[in-house]
Amino acid sequence: MSAISHEPLGFATTSLAPARTAWPPDRSIVVAAAKGDRRAMAELLTEAHPRVLSFLRGMGLRREAAEDVSADVAEAVVKGIFRLRDPVAFEAWFWSVARNQLRSWFRSQRRARRNEQVMMAPATPEDWAIERDDHGRIRQAMAALSLNDRQLLWLREVEGLAYEELATRFGSSAATIRVACHRARQRLQVAYNALD
Amino acid sequence: MTDWRYSQPLAELRALGRTLRTETSAADTERLVRQALDRVAVRHVPRKRALALVLASLMSTSSVAVGMAADEAAPGDLLFAVDRTLEMVSDLWGPGDHTLERLLEAETLMAAGDYRNALNAVGQAVAPHDSALAVQIVTASHEIAGSPPSPALAQYVESMLVGAIAVSEAARTGDQTALKEALAAMHAASQARHDDSGGEQSQGSPTTAVASDMAETSAANPSVTAPGQNKDPAEGNGNLGQGDANPSVTTPGQVEGEGNHGSNGNGGNGNGKP
């Protein structure tokens, strides 16, 4: 049953009571969340949200857009977790949900005739200043890559997913993903060096 | 071969990831988690299941509504066939007493001036108590089909309806004497009309029609004897002639040949020769 129980979360309004779980989450937490345990789901999302938000920001979305998409990701996770057959595969499944939501967002932006690069540009002079000082160079180098390269590099280098996990969710073999990651790293290096 | 562990851009990328992750405040995370859980909790039933539930409830509701509407249907109504079908289905779990329903239908039809169907309903109503009388009445209903309504016809149908109500009431209270008297009165009224009509019944076709009409009644009630079962009045009515008090075993075939001698249960001569 996919229903989320309506019992109150129980944590105080001022702090987030669920204990910080390790990532990827424990199998028992995933199973409980899939059975509708609201507290377990809250723990999952609490741990997942900063990761998915940084992933979306790393893919070039502005903060507001990243928050919107991360909310969609959270909702998709709550709605779809009962379909997850193997709790061990939660992390790979979770990132595929995030990638799908990101792809949907880009598609909607294209429909709205808005350029992906424009969306990635800082919105205000303050943002420009922050990005220039705060990892501005790697941001620019990442912006020069394709979305697929960016996703591969982020999930592999930042989130630390195994090639096999990436392969199952990218619909390729582990060897293909390994090669694709290698080429993406090379392209990032080239783009990074070109900024000198 | 590049050792990517020491790649400057990848190291910066990981640092960017850590920085972005720490940018997220706990309050923002809590707000988002609550929103996500609340939004989904509102519509926690999967859409397909919800749709199936809605369809199933609609179908059951409409079925019940049709059944209830059909229950009030009188002969000639669109839903009358549904009503009778439901009765037949319910009879599969044990024959039910539909006398009262038939009488109500007869009253409705009578008020509407549909004497034929009213008489038919009266016949159906008395069938559980006196099958031979029921056959006579239903036969008479076929005979009056197409004939213009007249005061005499209305009086006859009304008398039969009143008699059927008396029969029903006597059967309900278990008063056997009253039941016999009511049935005898109806027999007399039926016979009087038969005599007045000048032997119209001998044409045969109404009886054939009645046979099909009464088939279901016969199936539900073993005491009913099929019309035409005993066509030769001179041979096959011995039990009637012996003063059989149960008029339910008489048939139209007997009536055709011997008048009311056997059917009224008064111990007539029983030899088929009035």
pLDDT digits 0-9 by tens, A33-61: 888 888 888 888 888 888 998 899 888 88
Q: Is the pLDDT of residue A151 over 70?
A: yes
Contact B272, B257 (CB under 8 A): yes
Classified as helix, coil or strand, B156 is: helix
Q: Is the pLDDT of residue A5 over 60?
A: no
Residue spans of beta strands (DSSP E) within chain B: none
Contact A154, B17 (CB under 8 A): yes
Residue range A88-113: mean pLDDT, rounded: 85
Task: Indicate yes or no: CB of B15 within 8 angstroms of CB of A135.
Answer: yes
Residues of B in contact with A20 (CB under 8 A): none
Specify the higher pLDDT residue, B64 or B266: B64
Specify the higher pLDDT residue, B33 or A129: B33
In chain B, which ranges are continuous DSSP H helix? 8-23, 26-42, 47-71, 80-91, 99-111, 115-126, 131-143, 151-173, 176-196, 205-220, 238-241, 252-258
In A59-162, which ranges are continuous DSSP H helix? 63-80, 90-111, 116-120, 125-133, 136-143, 147-153
Compute the count of residue pairs across chains A and B with CB atoms less than 8 Å apart: 117
Q: Is the pLDDT of residue B223 over 60?
A: no
Q: Within 13 Å, how many C-alpha atoms sit on residue B189's CB side?
A: 23
Contact B101, B85 (CB under 8 A): no
Mean pLDDT of chain A: 79
Residue range A132-147: mean pLDDT, rounded: 81
Q: Which two tokens stand for residue A183?
A: 């080429």
Residues of B in contact with A55 (CB under 8 A): 17
Residue B2 is predicted with a pLDDT of 64
Specify the higher pLDDT residue, A45 or B195: A45
Task: Indicate yes or no: CB of B15 within 8 angstroms of CB of A71.
Answer: no
Which of A166-175, B20-29, B216-225, B245-254 is the most confident on average?
A: A166-175
pLDDT band, very low/low/confident/very high, at B198 (cuts 50, 70, 90): low
Report the range of poorest mean pLDDT among A186-190, B43-47, B207-211, B236-240. Answer: B236-240
Report the range of poorest mean pLDDT among A29-33, A71-75, A144-148, B5-9. Answer: B5-9
Sign (positive or negative) of CA dihedral A47, A52, A58, A62: negative
What's the complex ipTM?
A: 0.73
H helices, E strands: number in chain A = 10, 0
Report the range of poorest mean pLDDT among A67-71, B66-70, B134-138, B165-169. Answer: B66-70
Q: Is the pLDDT of residue A180 over 90?
A: yes
Q: Is the pLDDT of residue A30 over 70?
A: yes
DSSP A157: I
Nearest-Cα distance to chain A for B35, in Å, is: 8
Q: Is the pLDDT of residue B204 over 70?
A: no
**Residue A124 phi/psi, 5° resolution?**
-125, 160
Q: Is the pLDDT of residue B250 over 70?
A: no
Task: Indicate yes or no: CB of A4 within 8 angstroms of CB of B44.
Answer: yes
Percent of chain B at pLDDT above 90? 0
Q: Is the pLDDT of residue B257 over 80?
A: no
Sequence-distant (6+) residues with CB within 8 A of B193 are B140, B156
Residue B262 is predicted with a pLDDT of 39
Residue B139 is predicted with a pLDDT of 87
Residues of B in contact with A54 (CB under 8 A): 17, 19-21, 23-24
pLDDT band, very low/low/confident/very high, at A79 (cuts 50, 70, 90): confident
Residues of A in contact with B46 (CB under 8 A): 2
For residue B31, the one-letter residue type is R
Residue range B194-203: mean pLDDT, rounded: 57
Q: Is the pLDDT of residue B194 over 60?
A: yes
Specify the higher pLDDT residue, B74 or B22: B22
Percent of chain A at pLDDT above 70? 77
pLDDT band, very low/low/confident/very high, at A8 (cuts 50, 70, 90): very low
Percent of chain A at pLDDT above 90? 15
Mean pLDDT of chain B: 70
Residue range B99-122: mean pLDDT, rounded: 83
- Find the CB nearest A137 among B12, B17, B29: B12
Residue range A160-179: mean pLDDT, rounded: 88
Specify the higher pLDDT residue, B246 or B180: B180
For residue A158, the one-letter residue type is V
Q: Is the pLDDT of residue B97 over 60?
A: yes
Q: Is the pLDDT of residue B267 over 50?
A: no
Contact A153, B17 (CB under 8 A): no
Nearest-Cα distance to chain B for A163, in Å, is: 15
pLDDT band, very low/low/confident/very high, at A98 (cuts 50, 70, 90): very high
Residues of A in contact with B2 (CB under 8 A): 185-186, 189
